[in-house]
Structure 1
Amino acid sequence: MRPIRLPEPPGGGMGTPEIFTGGAATVVRRAVVIGNGSPGAENQCLGLVRALGLADHLTLYRVTRPQGGINEWLHFLPISLHKLIDQVLRQFFRNTRFELVIQGRKPYRVPNGGSVGVSSVLEADTKKIVAVARDTFDKEGPTLIVACGWDTISYSSSIRHLASDSVYVIQIQHPRSRLDRFDLVVTPRHDYYALTAGGQQEVPRLFRRWITPQEPPGRNVVLTVGALHQADSTALRLAAIAWHDKLAPLPKPLLIVNIGGPTRNCKYGVELARQLITSLYNVLDSCGSVRVSISRRTPRKVSDIIFKEFTGHPKIYIWDGEDPNPHMGHLAWADAFVVTADSISMLSEACSTGKPVYVIGTEHCKWKISAFHKTLQERGLVRPFTGLEDVFGLEMPEFSAPMVQIGFAALWQDAVQQYATKRL
C-alpha cells in the first residue's frame, strides 16, 4: 500500500495564532457563526473559524425561512418580510380549508447542525447575540461574528450596528451593497467579474447598475480564489484515520469523482453524464479504484445514468448519499479528483489538497463561474478531463490549506490591530 502524503502545517501545527495572546483589547476567545442552512455557506464560516483557532469556542446560529406551502414562492423576499407575511397568513387562515395551502404538509422546524459537524444549532436572534457579546466583552474580549449567505446579511449588519464596540463582524460572500456595514468582507475574486471588460460586455447597459458589485474592493474586502472550507491538514489527517479501514485496502491509485448539479450559470444535463462515462472508461486501465459521489443537487436523470452504467463494475463504487458521508475521507485518501464544473466548493477543497484535479463541463459555464475556472486553469490548479490524459502523472503547484490558513491569520492580525486602534 502506497502511503498518503498530507502537507505539514508550518511550525508543527496551526494552534491558536499569536494574535489571540496579545493585550486585553485584542484578545478574541469566542466566535459566533450565523448560517443559512446551506452546508456550502456554513462550511465557509466554520473553515475561517478553524483557521483562526476558534473551532472549539464557537456557537452556531441559523437563519431559517418558513417552509412549505405558499412559502416556496416567497423566497425572493427579504427574510424579515417573508417571516411577517407567513405569520399573518398562518393567523388569518388558521382552522380554514386554506390552512394546508399556506403551511404545506411538512412541519416548520429548525434543522440540526449534523451537515456541518456541529451537534446543536440555535435559531438566529439578533438581540440575544448582541446581549451575550456585551455581557462577555470584559471577560472574553470582542466576539467574532462570521456570517455567510444572503439571508444572514440583515442579522450580521444589525449586530454590528447595535454592538460595534463588542463585536467584529466578517461577512463571507459579497453582500451586494454597503460594504461599510461590516468590519470585513471575504468574497471570491470572481464576484467582481461584473467590473471587468469581459463582464461589462456581457451585461446590457440598462442593467449594469443592478449588477453587483458596483465598486472595486475597498480596504475591508479580502478576495479569495475559491470558497473557504474546513479541509485543512488537521481535518484531513483525522479523516484519513477515520476512513482508514474503508479506503486503505482499495487498490491504488484511487480516483475520486464528485458529481454536483446544474446551476443558473452552469447548466447541463444527461449529455454531461454520458461524456463523463466515456472519459472514465478511457482512463480506467490506469486506475486501481474509482469512487463516485452523487450530491443532493445531482438531477435524478443524471444519477440514474451513472448508476445504470457502473453498478456492479469491479473497479467502481458509487456513494448514493446514505450516511456516513465519505467526502472528507475521499479528500484524504484520493490520488486524483474529477469534479463537475458547477461546484466551487468541491473544487476549492480538492485543489487545497495539492493533488491532481480535473474538471468536466466547463464549456457549460458562463458569467462569473467561467471566470473562476479560467483563474484555476491559469494558475495550473486544474485541467480539463477528456479521458486522454494521465490523470495521476500531473505535477501540481504548491497550493495547500495551511497556506490559506496562514494568509487569513495574517489578515486577521491586521484587522484586530485596526480594531484595537479604533477602541483606544
Structure 2
Amino acid sequence: MKVDGLKNEMSCWVVTDGSAGMEIQCIGLAEALTLDFSVKRIKTAKPWRWLPPALWHAPLSRLKPEGDQLKAPWPSVLITCGRQAIPLSMAIKKASGQKTFTIHIQTPNTNPTNFDVVIVPEHDKLRGPNVLVTEGALGRITLELLESEGKKLSSSIKSLPKPIVTVLVGGSNKCYDLTPDVMTKLADDLSSLHDQSGCSFLVTTSRRTGHENEAILTEALANLPHQLWTGKGDNPYFGFLNLASAIIVTADSVNMVCEASSMGKPVYVFELPGGNRKFRHFHQRMRNLGYTRPFIGKLEQWSSTPLLETRKIAGQVQKILSDHT
C-alpha cells in the first residue's frame, strides 16, 4: 500500500502490523524527515509471531499472503513499530548488506544495538547510546497541519457558542475499561459543564469506543450544541484540536493525550477504571510538566509550550542519518 510522503532522495518503508497507534507514529516520523515513504502492513504466521526475534528462522518467509510482502529492492530507511516487525527489521538489515538504516519505535524485546536508532517514550526505561527518548508518543501533528485543518471546518462551527471544548473519546484496551456506566458518567459531566459555562462540544470517538457507548454519548449530546464524528466521512480530528478552547481526552491513549498537548491549550484527562505502572507514570509526568490536569467537571485556563516531539526527534534522527550516510 502506498501512502504519499514528501519528496526525498532516500526511499523509506513504514512497517507495522497495521495497528493505528503504531502506524501513526512511524508515519509521523517519516513525514517529519521528509522521506518518500510506503506503508506496509504485515501479517505474521504462527508460531513465529509468538516467539522472541532470536528464534525466528528466515523471518521474511514467515509473512502471511493477506498482508504486505517485504522483498528487494530494500529501502534506504526502514521505520518499524511493534514486536511483529522486529525480526523483519533485523532480516532486512542483513539482506541489504547493512545498508538499510533501521529505526524502531517503542522498546524492542531484543538488544537495541540490532537497530541504528531506537525511539522510546520517557515512561519506558530503556536507555542506551543509540536510544532517543521522547515525551510521550510521536505523531503526525504540526502547527501547519492543525491550522490548515481548522480552516476547513471554521465555517461549519460559526453557530456554536464559545467556549468550544473538544472531546476525544477512546475506548477499552488491555489496561483500561470504558464501560457504559463510565460513558454515562462522562456524558453527565459534559452536560453539567455546558450548564456551567455555556460551552459547545466537538467530539470524536474511536474504533474502540463501541456502539453502546456511542449511543449513550449521542443521546447525551442531542440537546447540547455540538458536532459529533463517529467514523463516517472525513475525519475532523485535527481540525477539532485546532478550533478548541480546551480539550478533554480519555485516559486510555498516550497518543491522544500527546496530540491534544500539541496545541499548548488546557488539556483535561478523564480517568477510566484500570491503568498500569507505565500509564500512571506517563499521566503523572504530563501533569507535572503542566500539559494536563484531571477533568473534574469545570474549565480552568492555563497554557503550556506546545508538545511537538516528532519535530525534535526528527532533527536528532536526521543528524545520525547524515553521519551514517
Pick the TM interval, shorter chain: 0.7 to 0.9
175-184 vs 363-372, greater mean Cα deviation = 363-372
Deviates more, 1:267-276 or 1:241-250: 241-250
Which one of 107, 110, 134 corresponds to residue 174 of structure 1? Answer: 107
Match of 1:36 in 2: 17
- State the partner residue of 1:61: 40
Say which of 238, 241, 244 aligns to 2:154.
244
For 1:183, give the aligned amino acid: D
Contact 2:161 2:200 in 1 (8 A): yes
Contact 1:44 1:229 in 2 (8 A): yes
Question: Residue 164 of structure 1: CA displacement?
Answer: 4.9
Q: What residue is the counterpart of 1:158 in the other structure?
A: 91
Q: Where is the helix percentage greater, Structure 1 or Structure 2?
A: 1
Out of 271, 294, 315, the position equivalent to 1:410 is 315
- Stretches of structure 1 that go unaligned for 5 or more consecutive residues are 1-14, 21-27, 88-107, 111-122, 134-142, 193-215
* 1:250-271 C-alpha deviation (Å, 9 max, x unpaired): 3322111111112222234233
State how far apart, in whole Å, the 1-side matches of 2:232 and 2:136 are: 28
Give the superposition deviation at 1:159.
1.2
Q: Which residue of 1 aligns with 2:303?
A: 396
- The alignment partner of 1:313 has SS state of coil
Please name the residue that 1:271 is paired with: 181
- Give distance in 1, aligned partners of 2:50 and 2:177: 21
* Cα pair 2:139 2:310 within 8 Å, conserved: no
Written as runs of structure 1 = structure 2, the 5 A alignment for 1:348-387 is 348-361=258-271, 364-387=274-297
SS state at 1:364 partner: coil
1:217-256 superposed matches below 5 A: 217-256=127-166
Q: Cα offset for 1:380?
A: 0.9
Contact 2:107 2:124 in 1 (8 A): yes
SS for the counterpart of 2:220 is helix
Q: 1:369 to 1:254 in 2, by over 3 A?
A: same
Bigger drift between 228-237 and 315-324 goes to 315-324
1:143-188: CA deviation from partner (whole Å, max 9, x where unpaired): 1211112211111121112225422110011112211110001111
Q: Which has the larger radius of gyration?
A: 1
Partner residue of 1:303? 214
The residue identity in structure 2 corresponding to 1:33 is V
Aligned length: 316
Q: Which runs of 5+ in 2 are unaligned?
A: 1-5
The alignment's TM-score, normalised by the length of structure 2, stands at 0.86
Provide the identity percentage: 28
Measured after TM superposition, the shift of residue 354 of structure 1 is 1.1
Give runs of aligned pairs for residues 192-203 of structure 1, distance below 5 A. 192=125
- 1:347 pairs with one of 238, 243, 257: 257
Q: What value does the CA root-mean-square deviation take over the aligned residues? A: 3.0
Task: Give the secondary structure class of the aligned counterpart of 1:342.
Answer: coil
Task: Give, in whole Å, the separation in 2 of the partners of 1:329 and 1:186.
Answer: 28
Contact 2:193–2:199 (Cα < 8 Å) also in 1: no
| Contact preservation (8 Å) 1:65, 1:83 | no
Residue pair 1:362, 1:370 contacting (<8 A) in 2 also: no
Report SS of the residue matched to 2:235: coil
Tell whether the 8 Å contact from 2:27 to 2:140 is kept in structure 1 after alignment. Answer: yes
1:51 aligns with 2:32: yes
Task: Specify the alignment match of 1:334 in structure 2.
Answer: 244
In structure 2, distance between residues paired with 1:357 and 1:339: 7
- Output the amino acid matched with 2:223: H
